[in-house]
Amino acid sequence: MRLRSSEWVIAAYFSYAALLAWLLPVPRRVAAVTLVLNLTILAGLLLLAYADSFRQGRFLGTVRDWFPLPLMLLGYREMGWFAPQVHRFHWEMIWVQWDRVLLREWGLKAAIESLGPLLPSVLEISYSLVYTTAVFSLAMLYAYGRRKRAASFNFTFLLGIYLAYAQFPFWPSEPPRTVFPGEDFPAYFTVFRKFNWWLLGGYGIHTSVFPSAHTAGAFSAAFAMRRLLPEKPWVGRFLLTLAVLIATATVYGRYHYAADAVTGLAVAAAAETVRRVLARSSTRPV
């Protein structure tokens, strides 16, 4: 039995979350549920790896390729359980000053709206597509006969988003759309924006928005696919363009502060750097 590098990332993150639940001032019931749930996830990883090594079948290998994706969502929701009772808006008051310079003085908002609702709609659509980047990337690897590279993609992608999630409890913050309602809001309230507001209103968490996991995940996927599918460069270019649009949308749409987006990009770059360092020192592909 051998865990994949991406599965080690999952194991490390959910072990970290279980430990954090007992260190943070959260209800003991929440800490207990987190511990039991995460131990179950770890046991499932081990069982899946054991079954795959025993049977050596394509089916279980495929399950291992796709199994991390729902765990990505679970990891996000768990950080929501650690939300503070009261936000003091210390970081938000600092970060919004930089946004005002970017959106107003540097003219980013005016430039985006110069063509009417076209660019705002493109940005909102791009923001919605962030939830599909991992699925799209794995699907492209399968479609082009590069399934064996799925584990390497999962390593970079999961490391990027989990490094973002792991910081949430230490940067308690709320998004600018709720802390500063109406301030620098887009001039066009398109149907795509309504969808994003509905999605975030029902499924968002209130622990932190720093760093932006949307940006970290989008760039992590782009960096990974540019490396893993050089035979089809359009895939990496598409994902990189999408990542830039997503990062822009997070700030323009007031879902995140510019500081969140910049740090999200830095997290993605760090994840890819870690992969390169491990690849040099390991006999197994990472």
Provide the domain count of the chain: 1
Return the ∠ at Cα 268 (arms to 262 and 271), rounded to 5°: 145
Residue 283 has pLDDT above 70, yes or no: no
Decide if 196 is inside a domain: yes
For 121-169, what is each residue's pLDDT tens digit?
A: 999 999 999 999 999 999 999 999 999 999 999 999 999 999 999 999 9
Residue 282, phi-psi category: left (phi > 0), alpha (psi -120 to 50), beta (remainder): beta
pLDDT at 279: 87
Residue 266 belongs to a domain: yes
Mean pLDDT of the chain: 94
Q: Is residue 49 part of a domain?
A: no
Task: Flag whether 9 is in a domain.
Answer: no
Tell me the whole-structure pTM to 2 decimals.
0.94
Read off the pLDDT of residues 38-84 as tens digits, 9 standing for 90 and up.
Answer: 999 999 999 999 998 877 678 889 999 999 999 999 999 999 999 98
With 80 as the cut, is the pLDDT of residue 118 above it? yes
What is the band of 266 on the pLDDT scale with cuts at 50, 70, 90?
very high
The answer to whether residue 26 sits within a structural domain is no
pLDDT recorded at residue 281 = 81
Kindly give the residue spans of alpha helices, DSSP state H, lying in the chain. 5-23, 28-55, 58-66, 68-80, 90-100, 108-112, 118-129, 133-143, 150-167, 176-179, 191-203, 213-228, 233-252, 258-281
Burial class for 92, CB neighbours closer than 10 Å (0-12, 13-18, 19+): buried
Is the model's pLDDT at 112 over the cut of 90?
yes
Asked if residue 24 is part of any domain, the answer here is no
The percent of residues above 70 in pLDDT, for the chain, comes to: 98
Domain that holds residue 91: 86-281
Q: Does residue 28 belong to any structural domain of this protein?
A: no
Let me know if residue 94 belongs to a domain.
yes
Tokens 């363009």 appear where? 241
- State the burial class of residue 171 (Cβ atoms within 10 Å of its Cβ: 0-12, 13-18, 19+): middle
